[in-house]
A and B are shown apart, each in its own frame.
Chain A
Amino acid sequence: MSNPDPIAAALGAPAPEAAAAAKRFADRAAADKRADLYYAAVESPLGELLLVAGPRGLALLHFVDDDADATLDTIAQRRSPRIVESARALERWRRELDEYFNGKRREFEAPVDWQELKGFRRRVLQATAAIPYGEARSYSTVAACAGSPKGARAAGNALGSNPIAIVIPCHRVRHASGGLGGYTGGLERKEMLLAIEGAGQPGQRG
């Protein structure tokens, strides 16, 4: 579209410096804790991860498979639209994940936000969080720990909706027969995580 009017053209000219001003805003909002939630995309050997944290801790860790916007829409709607991008706000978790992927960390110490997790789902995920590094439990064991010995399938569903992958280690839950079971991020990622922990093959010790 050509505009012959020099005034309109000048007043509507692009202002590329605005992007830097927006970045400064987001950084300061995070430093001053002005928003309710912060997010960052983090590179990992398993692909890009989306991390979201609030004042209580890490609220979400998803594998980004082209759906980061939809994930952010959902959490904005459910928790708060006051969500801002800030690598610095997620730095603690990023560093621990880095160490984990390099085999230098067996437990995560930065806080996790359990607020949204309720009932049976919460109990399943708590039982899962208690599985030690490099070990595996069956779906029925986890279900029993959550107070429902016959609830293996329901436990599988709860694990499938784990909002905080890796940190709540749902990859450590598999079939009693030794089969991998399922994984929302894809079985390839589940295998990679188990390999990192030295639990790649049944019976193999790391």
Chain B
Amino acid sequence: MNSIPPFQRTLEEHSEEIWRYLRGMVGAQAAEDCFQETFLAALRAYPRLRPDSNVRAWLFTIAHRKALDHARRVREASLGEHDAADESERPNREIWSAVATLPPRQRAAVLLRYGGDLAHREIAATIGCSEEAARRSLHEGLKRLRETI
């Protein structure tokens, strides 16, 4: 159908990957607020979405902005390490702790690639940089992750 789907369907289809992304970006505690803010902003703007737009990439862009807003709110110069207790019960704890220590752009690139399955071009659009810069952030981030685990 040549129209945007009912919002509920968009919410259900993309909530898991958006949640995964935000959890990696801001930690489990803050992920809930960022998730709610992301979909609230999406709901507000939804009727203006064009039927041929990439809804998934659009949602990631909003989520990314909400993650950065959160970081600003907690007055961190950069997205610092989030609460280690968040990760203690989680499988692959050491990987997630390492993700939490990455610089924000690298963290976003790695999460968007492996948690969100976005292409390099979409990662670049989401975090607002060139495709080349996105590729480099992804590469650097992965390298640091492999070194720390």
Is the Cβ of B32 less than 8 Å from the Cβ of A83?
A: no
Is the Cβ of A11 less than 8 Å from the Cβ of B142?
A: no
Is the Cβ of B11 less than 8 Å from the Cβ of A34?
A: no
Tell me whether A10 and B3 are in contact in the complex, defined as CB-CB below 8 angstroms, given that A34-B40, A84-B8 are known contacts: no
Q: Does A187 contact B (CB under 8 A)?
A: no
Is the Cβ of B99 less than 8 Å from the Cβ of A82?
A: no
Is the Cβ of B7 less than 8 Å from the Cβ of A18?
A: no
Q: How far is the CA of A73 from the CA of B149 in the complex (A)?
A: 47
Tell me how far the C-beta of B37 lies from the nearest C-beta in chain A, rounded to whole angstroms.
Answer: 10
Q: Residues on A close to B: CB < 8 A?
A: 6-15, 17-19, 21-22, 24-26, 28-29, 34-35, 39, 69, 72-73, 75-77, 80-85
Is the Cβ of B47 less than 8 Å from the Cβ of A6?
A: no
Closest 5 CB pairs of A and B: A18-B19, A11-B114, A10-B92, A22-B15, A76-B6
Tell me how far the C-beta of B102 lies from the nearest C-beta in chain A, rounded to whole angstroms.
Answer: 12
Q: Tell me the interface secondary structure of chain A in the complex.
A: helix
Tell me whether A7 and B15 are in contact in the complex, defined as CB-CB below 8 angstroms, given that A73-B6, A81-B3 are known contacts: no
Is the Cβ of A81 less than 8 Å from the Cβ of B36?
A: no
Q: Tell me the interface secondary structure of chain B in the complex.
A: helix
Chain B hits for A39, CB < 8 A: 8
1/0 contact string of B20-49 vs chain A (CB within 8 Å): 100110000001100110011001101101
Is the Cβ of A15 less than 8 Å from the Cβ of B23?
A: yes
Is the Cβ of B15 less than 8 Å from the Cβ of A77?
A: no
Tell me whether A76 and B145 are in contact in the complex, defined as CB-CB below 8 angstroms, given that A11-B114, A15-B16 are known contacts: no
Q: How far is the CA of A85 from the CA of B146 in the complex (A)?
A: 42
Q: Does B5 contact A (CB under 8 A)?
A: yes
Chain B hits for A13, CB < 8 A: 20, 91-92
Tell me how far the C-beta of A67 lies from the nearest C-beta in chain B, rounded to whole angstroms.
Answer: 14
Q: Which residue of B lies closest to A71 (CB)?
A: B6
